[in-house]
């Protein structure tokens, strides 16, 4: 008797999502120069696991990987005024109820303009309202206030400080963790000053 054949997982679609400020779209080879600029930016390297000696060929390989449909992740280029402004993605977790991790990084030229806040809201809405996920998890390096503010605006609870949460270039680093559920109202749960106070006390 032959073994049952496991169904092939369906790749996660990357539909165009539009807000008032940003458009989220699939990446393209035309994003190469801007992706390279983002990846060599000192703040990006401080708060991500991007290799410190990042090259143009690495950026090309990264983009090539994003162009392949995958059941494990969906990754959008963030576009503002017809320019690449960052990347945001969902990475699925192997749980029955539908869940995944949210990750994002902003091009340095577009920080402080609310770009990532709107992108996070669009992607979280897609995860819950289209994919039917029940949980979206966010993690970041402790001290990454820009990332924390973007998820706070989308309704994520005040992050929890977790020692040694993340693995970065061969060492464990402290991190922040927060989880949003499908039945949340997706509005800030507390004033931003209260969030800062909770994470700095």
Cβ(86)–Cβ(78) below 8 Å? yes
Bridge partners of 141, per DSSP, are 175
- Residue 190 burial (CB count, 10 A): 12
Asked if residue 34 has pLDDT above 90, the reply is yes
Bridge partners of 99, per DSSP, are 93, 135
Cβ(93)–Cβ(101) below 8 Å? yes
Q: What is the mean pLDDT of the chain?
A: 93
Secondary structure of residue 155 in the 3-state scheme: coil
**Ramachandran assignment for 56, one of left (phi > 0), alpha (psi -120 to 50 degrees), beta (any other):** alpha
Q: pLDDT tens for residues 115-163? A: 999 999 999 999 999 999 999 999 999 999 999 999 999 999 999 999 9
Entry pTM: 0.92
Supply the pLDDT for residue 169: 83
Supply the pLDDT for residue 9: 75
Q: Which two tokens stand for residue 155?
A: 């309704």
Class of domain 17-200: alpha beta
Q: Which residue in 176, 83, 195 sits closest to 137, CA to CA?
A: 176
- How many CA atoms, within 13 angstroms, populate the side-chain half-sphere of residue 111? 14
CA torsion sign for 40, 76, 135, 92 is: negative
Question: Domain extents for the chain?
Answer: 17-200
Q: pLDDT tens for residues 45-65? A: 999 889 899 999 999 999 999
Asked if residue 2 has pLDDT above 70, the reply is no
């Amino acid at each position: 008797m032959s073994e049952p054949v496991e169904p092939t997982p369906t790749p996660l679609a990357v539909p165009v999502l539009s807000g008032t400020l940003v458009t989220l779209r699939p990446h393209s080879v035309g994003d190469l120069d801007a992706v390279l600029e983002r990846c060599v930016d000192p703040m990006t390297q401080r708060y991500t696991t991007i290799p410190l000696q990042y090259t143009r060929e690495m950026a090309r390989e990264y983009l090539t990987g994003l162009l392949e449909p995958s059941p494990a992740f969906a990754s959008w280029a963030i576009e503002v005024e017809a320019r690449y402004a960052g990347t945001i993605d969902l990475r699925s977790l192997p749980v029955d109820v539908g869940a995944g991790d949210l990750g994002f990084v902003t091009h340095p030229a577009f920080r402080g303009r609310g770009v990532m806040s709107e992108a996070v809201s669009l992607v979280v809405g897609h995860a819950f309202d289209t994919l039917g996920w029940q949980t979206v998890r966010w993690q970041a390096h402790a001290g990454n206030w820009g990332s924390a503010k973007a998820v706070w605006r989308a309704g994520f609870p005040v992050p929890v400080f977790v020692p040694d949460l993340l693995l970065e270039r061969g060492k464990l680093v402290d991190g922040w963790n927060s989880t949003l559920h499908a039945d949340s109202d997706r509005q800030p749960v507390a004033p931003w000053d209260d969030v800062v106070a909770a994470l700095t006390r």
